[in-house]
């Protein structure tokens, strides 16, 4: 079974850094794109970024480029999303999800990580 | 960026009724990359339809979808209690964008 298991909820202050994770299993990690999706309360999801672990090719939604960084570790089949300086507006639920291609849909999802940024 | 607008925002129906959800794109999709997800409170979205009209594995045949160009429809025949949820459309013809969602409620 394909599984994506995300790290737990985080509470941070503005300006702090954060790295959340998405541990995958049940399929060939190097051969599928993994993306991150943000969902604000009561809103539709927003695609943020995606990585192809096979060669670390990455793409970003221009709305998020420069504010987040995606990375992958093939040795432990895990994908990460990190911020160097959080803002209150980053408070949201973040999902990782497997993509069938760079321009494609999401066929398996993690359970979500709630990030709260507050002073 | 292609904007997807879903209607209605909320659909109030009873079990056994048919739900018809609409998703309109701001420009014609030049690839058949329009999908639908179901999301229940506290859960991740779940893929139900891909490539405009193909049901994802395990999705019952009361779910069907169609469309082309800029107008797409998801139909749920004979609503079951577990179908009450929020439904999102997503396009992948030009970057990746989602609609704002339609809530199907009792």
pLDDT in tens, B64-82: 999 999 999 999 999 999 9
Instruction: Locate the chain A residue with the closest alpha carbon to B45.
Output: A109
> Which one of A106, A110, A114 makes the best mutation probe of the B interface by having the most chain B beta carbons within 10 Å?
A106
Q: Do A105 and B98 touch (CB under 8 A)?
A: no
User: What average pLDDT score do residues B54-67 get?
Assistant: 96
User: What average pLDDT score do residues A27-46 get?
Assistant: 95
The size of chain B, in residues, is 106
Contact B2, B94 (CB under 8 A): yes
Residue A46 in contact with partner chain B when CB distance is under 8 A: yes
**Beta-carbon neighbour count of residue A105 at 10 Å?**
23
Q: Do A45 and B100 touch (CB under 8 A)?
A: no
């Amino acid at each position: 079974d394909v599984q994506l298991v995300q790290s737990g909820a985080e509470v941070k202050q503005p300006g702090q850094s954060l790295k959340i994770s998405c541990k995958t299993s049940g399929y060939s990690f190097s051969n599928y794109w993994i993306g991150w999706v943000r969902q604000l309360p009561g809103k539709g999801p927003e695609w943020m970024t995606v990585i192809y672990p096979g060669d670390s090719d990455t793409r970003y939604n221009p709305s998020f480029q420069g504010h987040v960084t995606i990375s992958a570790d093939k040795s432990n089949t895990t994908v990460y999303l990190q911020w160097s300086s959080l803002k209150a507006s980053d408070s949201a639920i973040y999902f990782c999800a497997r993509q069938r291609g760079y321009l494609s849909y999401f066929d398996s999802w993690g359970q979500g990580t709630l990030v709260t940024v507050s002073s | 960026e292609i904007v997807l607008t879903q209607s209605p925002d909320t659909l109030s129906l009873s079990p056994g009724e048919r739900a018809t959800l609409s998703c309109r794109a701001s420009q014609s999709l030049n690839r058949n990359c329009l999908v639908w997800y179901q999301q229940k409170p506290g859960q991740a979205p779940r893929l139900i339809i891909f490539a405009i009209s193909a049901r994802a594995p395990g999705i019952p045949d009361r779910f069907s979808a169609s469309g082309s160009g800029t107008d797409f429809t998801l139909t749920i025949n004979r609503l079951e209690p577990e179908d009450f949820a929020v439904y999102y459309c997503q396009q992948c013809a030009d970057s990746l964008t989602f609609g704002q969602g339609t809530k199907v409620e009792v």
